[in-house]
Amino acid sequence: MATDPNQRLLTVEEFLEIEFGPNMKAELDDGVIRMMAGGTRRHARIQQNLAAFFDRVLIGSGCQPFGSDVGVATSERSMRYPDLTIDRGSPDDQPNDLTLRDPRVVVEVLSPSTRTYDERTKVTEYKAVGSIETIILVDAETERCRVIQRTGKTAWTDISYTTAVDMPLPSLDLVLPHDQIFRV
């Protein structure tokens, strides 16, 4: 998706060597660096609610939740930073402190400016990662959620929840309460 045909596309390894500084955040999008803007207070609150919930319910499961500071390589030239990732690998199994090796669940909190991109491009990329079993999209504005669940090697279910419903997450053998996501 390079805009300049002469632009050299980066690999994930090259991207991870770049120091962006403490207040700069970027993703690697098909070899091209894309700077990321900060989120709203509501977005941050939802992200924090989810992290707190999963941190509590996953104790002893072998899985750990991580925020958007740790990445998921979705291909050789793409690095994504989901709002929340649940990984089942131990810290000793990780290739580095910047990426997760065995992501099981990814959560994206949608915003008006990223909604379409997250729902199309990122969902397609996440489905291509063999270890990802569940993709959760949370709409901060409408309080609607979408759960995309792997049911086979290439088969997925895709359920949109348009009302306040507690959502089953079979890959984690638990239910995610709607009120937990959106509490203030």
Cβ contact 79:12 at 8 Å: yes
How far apart are the C-alpha atoms of 2 and 142, rounded to whole Å? 33
Radius of gyration of the chain (CA): 16
Q: What does the pLDDT look like over 89-147, one tens digit per residue?
A: 655 555 567 889 889 999 999 998 889 999 999 999 999 999 999 999 999 999 999 99
CATH class for domain 40-182?
alpha beta
- Scored b (16 or more CB within 10 A) or e, 135-145 reads bbbbbbeeebb
Q: Which two tokens stand for residue 10?
A: 């980066």
Per-residue confidence (pLDDT) for residue 93, from 0 to 100: 55
Output the pTM of the full model: 0.91
Q: What does the pLDDT look like over 75-100, one tens digit per residue?
A: 999 999 999 999 986 555 555 678 89
Q: Mean pLDDT across the chain, nearest whole number?
A: 91
Strand partners, 149: 134, 157
Cβ contact 110:121 at 8 Å: no
Fill in the amino acid letter for 87: D
* DSSP run (H or E) holding 73: strand 72-75
